[in-house]
Structure 1
Amino acid sequence: MASWVGFRVDAAATLGGGHVMRCLTLARTFRSLAHHCVFLCSEETIEVIPDDLWDGFDVRTVSAGLPAETEERFDLLVFDHYGLSAPDERDWRNRAGTLMVIDDLADRPHDCDLLLDQTYGVRAADYEALLPDGCRLLLGSHYALLREEFATHRQASLERRLSDPAGGRVLVSLGMTDVSGIAGRVCNLLTAIGGLQRVDVVLGHKAPSYGRIQEICALDARFQLHSDVRNMAELMLLADVGIGAGGTTTWERCAMGLPSLVVVVADNQIKIADLMNKAGAIGLLGDARTDTDQHLSDQLTRFLSDTERLRAFGRKSADLCDGAGARRVVDDVLQLVAARERANGYV
């Protein structure tokens, strides 16, 4: 039987669009199984996320933290929002049969029936005092929410990397909203590094660095700007190394076995970047908020000149995520929803 699934999620210029993008991935998987999905978002979210990226989903604006101005009942309501916690989630209890939370901070209590944290190295003990009894946990990068295209292109990407890198093709993707203009800073540094054959830059057209990247592309034929792309897996397949932030695209690069150099741009990225760096799965360039351009430049030069180390990053990261996490999550969630509905006498 088809279910109604709601997503309470926001994006912002300072927050980025990662929360919305991973919820869209989950929604597409639900929709492929004939379930109806509704997004409940702030007005700023509608401004930040381009219309075409909503993929035809039903999107409604709501006041921050408050139930939607509708009496509609959801079979499942998903929260992916750092600004909401147990009291806010509890307000929605009479609107949904099952409540699910997506989190990666483990820094506040939740009132939910299921919690997903796709962070590498996360433990059940991290949430022990934050969840109600009986809450089901889906933990680790095995459950990373990636679009189907990454699983589709994964094998070809891994096979390509069995040989030495073809040489010098870099993919720069530092977040849709380009927090603090980090994309412009990184590309400025790359212009001075020799040996690069091509630099593909993925950036939202509203990003602060957009104009600067256009200028770089006009002056340096190696640089190519891609705005609001829908073929990220193909770009990763062609790249020899990826430069990105420590957010959602971390798992995309892992699924493709793409050697990654990571710049931290937000507090919630520090832990995952540190764990993956210690595991030898990424090269950590530094923190964009505190490290100087000289430090970032030195790190870029050091990593980009070490081909064997880059290949090792790719091999290790490919073991952490296979790109099939979204379907695993949906299968587990639907089983829980069905069980709760039977227990409550709805079916």
Structure 2
Amino acid sequence: MKLLVRADASVEIGMGHRVRCQALIHAFQELGWQCQFVVDRRYQAFASQQDCLIGGESEEECKSEFLALARQADLVVLDHYGYSADDIVQLYQHQPNLLVLDDMNDRGEFPAKWLLNPLQQDYSKQIEFPLTGSRYALLRPVFQKFQLSQIPPQKLLITLGGTDPLALTLPILNALLASGFPAKDIQVLLGANAKNAAQVINSCRHNSIAFEQGLSDVTPLMKQAKMAVSAAGGTLFELACMGVPTVFAQVADNQTRSLEQHVPLDWCRSVRFDNVPEEVWQHRIEQLVEEVNLRWLDLEWQENARKMARSLVDGDGANRVAETINSYF
């Protein structure tokens, strides 16, 4: 059985689409499927050698080329905000065995055999089998196997995603240090393609702050985290699975719905950056740091937050999705 995944990654797009689709691919491969990413040639710097590259000049060229490929597959996974409802209708006509990954539920009605959203959302009757809620969150295999540390966590983990698109890590670090937060309690995690990585690393070395970059397994650092400052993409579900109370920096519009659902559960807080001009960011950073300092000393809130977070995500979502779809075939 052949599965094609249409997803891209770049500094602007981020790595989240690719990371969660890799988790899904791993689950399907365990069931014997042949899987391949189909990637816009303009983003090949973030692709692997095994990917199928399409297009060249425009997104429309990519979409047209992908339709022909989709017909030849047994299953297509679409994780791409560049596809409108009309585009999805056209894709579905070429390949009805279509799984659409969605976050915002803001494209209007479209047909699909399966739709996956790790949030509780209602979709139209055109979706034959909706897979919604945090039990379907797509986490990498390492999150299924982790065991909680017996040593009480001590670190504040700072992780702003695979690319840190707004380059917030360094100003957040500076604001934390200026507030008197102990450098010894900070752990920085940079994505392999993070913006301003060299400057962040220099600052960490200068201030004796622990840092790592491009880790394939982030669970050891999350185990050590008493709290986190994080972007609110797919990492939100990873941190929930690991039970890490978090102050999220919202860096993209598609993170809105997940924060609307998770912040009221009181395991996390959020400060938004994507909808304000850059000159306002410093004020928002100061708000974020104030929230971190307040929550860092609130041990009762942390304990309740850990329990709530772990109750939401069990790390088995990718297997759950793959087994559900595989049983159809």
- Band of TM-score, shorter chain: 0.7 to 0.9
> Structure 1 residues 40 and 311, CA, compared in 2 at 3 Å: closer, same or farther?
same
2:76 is the alignment partner of 1:77:
yes
- Checking the alignment, whether the CA contact within 8 Å between 1:204 and 1:227 is kept in structure 2 is yes
Counterpart-to-counterpart distance in 2, 1:71 and 1:144: 25
Judging changes above 3 Å, is the alpha-carbon distance between structure 1 residues 320 and 311 closer, same or farther for their aligned structure 2 residues? same
Query: Normalising to structure 2: TM-score of the pair?
Result: 0.88
Cα deviation for residue 10 of structure 1 reads 1.2
Aligned to 1:62: 54
Question: How many residues align structurally?
Answer: 313
1:178-228 Cα deviation digits (max 9, x unpaired): 11101222222222333453322222343222022112112111x222221
Structure 1 residues 202 and 7 mapped into 2: Cα distance closer, same or farther (>3 Å)?
same
Unpaired runs of 5+ residues, structure 2, are: none
Structure 1 position 238, deviation (Å):
1.9
Counting aligned pairs with the same residue, the percent is 26
Once residues 279 and 44 of structure 1 are traced to their aligned partners in structure 2, the CA distance between those partners, rounded to angstroms, is 40
Q: 1:143 aligns with which of 119, 136, 139?
A: 136
The CA RMSD over aligned residues, in Å, is 2.1
The runs of at least 4 aligned residues of structure 1 exceeding 6 Å deviation read none
For the Cα contact (< 8 Å) 2:8–2:40, is it kept in 1? yes
Of 171, 182, 191 in structure 1, the residue corresponding to residue 168 of structure 2 is 182
* Deviation string, structure 1 residues 17-40 (Cα, Å, up to 9, x no partner): 101110011001111222100111
Maintained 8 Å contact 1:260/1:314: no
- The change in CA–CA distance for 1:77 and 1:226 in structure 2 (over 3 A counts) is same
Aligned counterpart, 1:20: 18
Using the alignment, how far apart are the partners of 1:23 and 1:213 within structure 2? 29
Q: Determine whether 1:194 maps to 2:192.
A: no
Contact 1:170 1:242 in 2 (8 A): yes
The 3 A distance-change label for structure 1 pair 197 and 117 is same
Specify the code of the residue in structure 2 equivalent to 1:288: F
Partner of 1:38: 36
Q: CA-to-partner distance for each residue in 1:55-82, whole Å, 9 max, x for gaps?
A: x7x3011233223365861110000011
TM-score normalized by the length of structure 1: 0.83
Shift of 1:297: 2.4
Q: 1:287 aligns with which of 272, 285, 303?
A: 272
User: Paired residue for 1:203?
Assistant: 190
Q: Is the 8 A contact 2:5 2:37 kept in 1?
A: yes
Letter of the structure 2 residue corresponding to residue 309 of structure 1: W
1:203-282 aligned at under 5 Å gives the runs 203-221=190-208, 223-282=209-268
Instruction: Give the aligned partner of residue 86 of structure 1.
Output: 85
CA shift, 1:141, in A, is 0.3
Note if contact 1:99-1:112 (Cα within 8 Å) is conserved in structure 2.
yes
CA distance, structure 2, for counterparts of residue 247 and residue 87 of structure 1: 26
Moved more, 194-203 or 110-119: 194-203
